[in-house]
Amino acid sequence: MDASEINRSLVSELEAMGFSEAQATKALCSSGNSSLEAAVNWIVDHEDEANNDEMPMVSVDIIETPTPTFDSEQAKLKAQELRERARKRREEEEKKLDKEREKERIRAGKERLATKRMAEENERKRFEAQRKTEKEEERRARERIRQKLQQDMADRRARLGSSFNSGTSSKFIKTSEPETKNPLKVDSAALSGNLITNKEVFMGCLRSLRRQHKEEDVKVQQAFKTLLVYVRNIVSNPDEGKFRKIRLSNPAFQARVGIFKEGVQFLQLCGFERAEEGDFLVLRSNKVNMALLRSAGMVLHSAITNPFFGLLSK
């Protein structure tokens, strides 16, 4: 049957159920003029549309067929039954869609979590590789220092003679070893000519700070950043005296750096000295060593950007 041919009996039944002729005609036309249930389903599915009470735009021929005998009460019950069935169908479809959406949400969440974990794992591996490289560089640096010390001893023996050599060499070794093992006690002025030694000393100082206060990571990071500001200010303005003088009793200094003895030691390694009045750390203009300060800045930058700094090495 052509969809434009509408069964008059079906239209009448829909009208008896309380629908307008326009609604009935449009529903039958849109649902294929197949059955009352299909027409009611269409009306329920489109009941929120503004134009569902208008005659269809296509040409419609209403054909006469025998009209079943329905009283108004039966028609209303039939309409209610069909409406309920249509609503249940829609609810089931919506529940199915909700389940599909929930599955998709869970799947997408798992994918995001897996991606995040992969990124974290890659970052961890990157830092471990970086730390391994740093440790290898440190080992090579120590080896170069050891070789230099041996060369210095050989040169001293050659200059002083074999009779004086044995006593002086052993004394030199005894005084040199503590300086290599405990970089925090090395005088910064004695290190100004050797940037490899400077880096070792600076890194040892910051690692000690990190390990001794690993439960206070936020304060440690704040100390690193504040020290980097001090160093950068001097490098950018070496002739500006205010950047080369720090009041030890300053509350901001105490809260960020002064609470850590290693923080004060780091400044002393950069060339700062306690002033005669005792309440100041001062870097005198004739002791500003730009290469030393740049080395300190690079070590501080590594300590700030590497979350595993000072924690992985034994």
Q: pLDDT tens, position by position, for the chain (314 residues)?
A: 344 567 677 777 777 777 777 777 878 777 777 677 788 888 877 776 666 666 665 455 555 555 554 556 666 676 777 778 778 888 888 899 999 999 999 999 999 999 999 999 999 999 999 889 888 988 898 888 888 888 888 887 787 765 444 444 444 434 444 444 443 444 444 444 444 578 889 989 999 998 888 889 899 999 999 999 999 999 999 999 999 999 999 999 999 999 999 999 999 999 999 887 778 999 999 999 999 999 999 999 999 998 888 776 55
Residue 122 tokens read as 């890659």
Residue 290, pLDDT score: 93
- Report the pLDDT value the prediction gives residue 260, as an integer from 0 to 100: 93
Q: Quick one: pLDDT at residue 234? A: 95
pLDDT at residue 77, rounded to an integer: 74
234: Cβ contacts below 8 Å, ≥ 6 apart: 243, 244, 283, 288, 293
pLDDT at residue 172, as a whole number? 40
Cα angle at 128 between 123 and 134, to 5 degrees?
A: 125
pLDDT at position 56 is 60
**Residue 79 phi, psi (nearest 5):** -65, -45
3-state secondary structure 1-61: CCCCEEEHHHHHHHHHCCCCHHHHHHHHHHCCCCCHHHHHHHHHHCCCCCCCCCCCCCCCE
Listed in sequence order, the residues at least 6 apart from 9 whose beta carbon sits closer than 8 Å to its beta carbon are 65, 66, 67, 68
Say how many CA atoms lie within 13 Å of 3 toward its Cβ: 11
Residue 112's DSSP bridge partners are: none
**pLDDT given for residue 184 in this prediction:** 40
CA distance 184 to 204: 7
Residue 36 vs residues 46, 290, 304: alpha-carbon distances, Å = 15, 93, 75
The pLDDT value given to residue 5? 65
The predicted structure's pLDDT at residue 48: 67
pLDDT at 1: 36
Please compute, for residue 247, the number of CA atoms within 13 A of its CA located in the half-sphere on the CB side: 5
